[in-house]
């Protein structure tokens, strides 16, 4: 019984790390531009398909194909922002509705191209596992978690240490002040949204190593991503990481003790409780 609970906790942490990466872009775009990007999960599923087809058609390992998906999603993010999302910066409801429409377009295009069928990425290491505290951990899950943490860490260092990262942080704190000191806010917005969609693509590709996927899955993922970001605190990368881990553990334990149906329900119960007692989130600013 102890091993069962311990494995559930470890699984929750590993899955939470990957969902944290998918959620980081969502919290980044909201923190900098006040854009509620409802297309984040659709971009993530698209990133999963890029990894899938790179492997199926060209034999490129999904991990080696991550840079390909990153570039494609970054470019798509910039195009989407420049021609559609830019006009909705500021009012969260407007951006929520516009990006929701983008998500539906992406989903339907994927259905037209590849049908709404379950697919999975099966590599030579998909069925392998390594012992961790006497518990077998699937290698794809471990690799996806490590990859997610590395990307989140690199993004955090980029925002804290690089000149461009500091400009992004300054813009998120005070847009008018950033403009007064010579920061090109329009360029910052464009790059931020591109980075946001790129992280979604990476997270989607890594999650595709663990789960089966299909185009309409984005409608399930986006609700989960919003819960993670809101519970952690909109605009807080650290809060997003902590929230994803916490929710991952709670969901995994619930699924082990009760059922998968309750595991989904508990996520939204957590959201309601947080909104009632701490609406700014665990690490959000009032």
The fold of 2-118+135-277 is ABC transporter involved in vitamin B12 uptake, BtuC (1.10.3470)
Output the pLDDT for position 286.
60
Name the stretches of the chain with pLDDT < 50: none
| Contact indicator for 244, 19 with CB cutoff of 8 Å | yes
The residues, any chain, with a CB within 8 Å of residue 220's CB and separated by 6 or more, are 41
pLDDT digits (tens, 9 = 90+) for 228-250: 999 988 878 888 999 999 999 98
pLDDT score of 1: 63
Q: Give the pLDDT confidence of 175-186 residue by residue, as tens digits.
A: 888 888 788 888
User: Which token pair is 263?
Assistant: 């595991």
Report helix, strand or coil for 226.
helix
Residues 166-222: pLDDT tens digits? 998 888 888 888 888 788 888 999 999 999 999 999 999 999 999 899 999 998 899
pLDDT of residue 148: 93
pLDDT of residue 12: 87
Task: Report d(CA 54, CA 201) in Å as an integer.
Answer: 14
**Per-residue confidence (pLDDT) for residue 101, from 0 to 100:** 94
pLDDT at 220: 87
Distance CA 190, CA 195 (A): 9
In degrees, rounded to 5, the angle at the alpha carbon of residue 211 between the alpha carbons of residues 215 and 6 is 145
């Amino acid at each position: 019984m102890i091993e069962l609970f311990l494995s559930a906790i470890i699984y929750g942490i590993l899955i939470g790390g990957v969902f944290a990466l998918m959620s980081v872009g969502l919290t980044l775009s909201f923190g900098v531009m006040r854009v509620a990007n409802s297309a984040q999960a659709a971009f993530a599923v698209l990133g999963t398909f890029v990894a899938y087809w790179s492997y199926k058609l060209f034999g490129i390992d999904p991990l080696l194909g991550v840079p390909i998906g990153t570039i494609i999603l970054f470019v798509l993010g910039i195009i989407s922002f420049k021609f559609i999302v830019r006009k909705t910066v500021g009012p969260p409801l407007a951006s929520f509705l516009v990006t929701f429409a983008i998500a539906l377009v992406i989903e339907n295009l994927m259905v037209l191209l590849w049908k709404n069928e379950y697919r999975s990425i099966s590599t030579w290491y998909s069925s392998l596992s390594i012992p961790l505290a006497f518990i077998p951990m699937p290698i794809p899950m471990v690799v996806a978690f490590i990859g997610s943490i590395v990307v989140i860490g690199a993004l955090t260092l980029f925002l804290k240490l690089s000149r461009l990262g500091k400009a992004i942080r300054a813009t998120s704190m005070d847009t008018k002040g950033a403009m007064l000191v010579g920061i090109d806010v329009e360029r910052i917005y464009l790059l931020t949204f591109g980075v946001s969609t790129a992280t979604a693509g990476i997270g989607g590709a890594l999650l595709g190593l663990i789960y089966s996927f299909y185009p309409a899955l984005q409608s399930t993922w986006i609700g989960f991503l919003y819960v993670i970001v809101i519970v952690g605190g909109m605009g807080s990368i650290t809060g997003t990481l902590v929230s994803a881990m916490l929710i991952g553990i709670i969901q995994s334990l619930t699924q082990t003790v009760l059922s998968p149906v309750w595991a989904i329900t508990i996520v939204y119960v957590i959201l309601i409780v947080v909104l009632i007692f701490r609406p700014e989130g665990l690490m959000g600013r009032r």
